Amino acid sequence: MAEKSSIFDMIGPVMIGPSSSHTAGVVRIARAAIRVLGCQPETAEITFYNSFARTYEGHGSDRAVIAGLLDFKTDDIRIKESFRYAAEAGLQYSFKSVGNASAMHPNTLKLNLSGPNGQVEVVGQSRGGGVIRIVEVDGFPSDFSANLHTLMIEADDVKGSIAFIADVIAHDDCNIATMTVSRRGKNQLARQFIEMDTALKPLTLEYIRHLSWIKNITYIPNIE
């Protein structure tokens, strides 16, 4: 049974046009990506795939992605003028188009971002109505919507780590909605992407961060 729609999906969302998938969804992918990076990016290379590749200018997806990198919300009227705001913020960016990427969703976007905290590669899909999925981070498969709260963990591939993290989250009274786990190879670096219905307590995050086999964690609260 599909989840029931809200009346605010019928009368809404309030958004900047022209298209929920090519404008609003693109803003949200970029807003998710800067949270994965963990800071304001200084440079951004943006690749538009498939259906986006030829129409990104006409639909304003280029302005939308830059607006998202500046953390503008989907109903922010500054989206149209985002290039000007990017210049003021000192954000360097470039666009590239790739067509016929048959393994990818029709509306796919890749963001290579770098900033004071480091760099990251994020691949996102815009699935219509402003709904998105982040499907890859630094080459690791992921699957989160940024509608819920997401915990991203970089850790050693040790036995019991998944069960342990799930247990810690359960003790914080959080329900796990989705979980994606993968690793570079046996006993190598592993990534967990955990989507939760409710927010994690800062204390729980700090505890996880200080475990000896954890390399890094990034917490992404839901994005409007």
Partner 1 sequence: MSLLFQDFASWEKHYQETGEPLYQPVLQYEIEQKDRTEAYIWENIARAYDVMREAVKTGLTQNMTSRSGMVNNGAKKVAATPITVLSPDFKLLIARTLGAKEVNSCMGRVVAAPTAGASGILPGILTTLQDIHQLDDRKIHEALLVAAGIALIIEENASLAGAVGGCQAETGSAAAMGAGAIVYCLGGTVPQAFNAVAITIQCMLGLVCDPVAGLVEVPCIVRNASAAAIAFSSAQIAIAGVDPVIPVDQCVMALGEVGQSMETRYKETALGGLANTPTGRAIEKQVLVQDIEILPDTPSE
What residues numbered 185-214 form the site for partner 1, per CB under 8 A? none
At 59, list the tokens: 């639909």
- Taking the least distance from each CB to partner 1, the nearer of 5 and 212 is 5
**What 3-state DSSP class applies to 198?**
coil
For partner 1, which residue of 103, 160, 185, 202 counts as binding (CB under 8 A)?
103
Only segment of 7-15, 83-91, 153-161, 203-211 that touches partner 1 (CB under 8 A): 7-15
5 vs 188 by CB, closer to partner 1: 5
Determine if 79 is a binding residue for partner 1 (CB under 8 A). Answer: yes
Binding residue for partner 1, selected from 96, 171, 184, 215, defined by CB under 8 A: 96
Determine the Cα–Cα distance for residues 2 and 134; give it in Å rounded to an integer: 21
Asked if 101 touches partner 1 (CB under 8 A), the answer is yes
**CA 194 – CA 176 distance, rounded (Å):** 7
Contact 128, 136 (CB under 8 A): no
Residue closer to partner 1 (CB basis): 109 or 190: 109
Report the residue number, 18 or 116, with the smaller CB distance to partner 1.
18
Which of 77, 186, 188, 210 is in the footprint of partner 1 by CB under 8 A? 77
- Contact in structure between 79 and 67 (CB atoms under 8 Å): yes
Q: How far apart are CA 177 and CA 29, in angstroms?
A: 19
> Cβ 149 to partner 1, closest distance in Å?
17
Q: Residues touching partner 1: how many (CB under 8 A)?
A: 44
Q: Contact, 21 vs 127, CB < 8 A? A: yes
Pairing of strands 149-156, 108-115: unpaired
In this complex, which beta carbon is closest to partner 1, that of residue 77 or of residue 163?
77
Nearest to 205, CA basis, from 220, 188, 189: 220
Q: Which of residues 11-70 bind partner 1 (CB under 8 A)?
A: 11-20, 23-24, 48, 51, 53-60, 63
Element (H, E) at 87: helix 82-89
Nearer to partner 1 by C-beta: 40 or 55? 55
Report the C-alpha gap between 141 and 78 in whole angstroms.
33
Contacts of partner 1 in 125-164 (CB under 8 A): 128-129
Here the tokens at position 28 are 């949200």
| CA-to-CA separations, 154 to 117, 138, 176, 218, in angstroms, rounded | 15, 11, 18, 9
Q: Give the residues lining the site for partner 1 (CB under 8 A).
A: 4-20, 23-24, 48, 51, 53-60, 63, 75, 77, 79-80, 96-103, 128-129
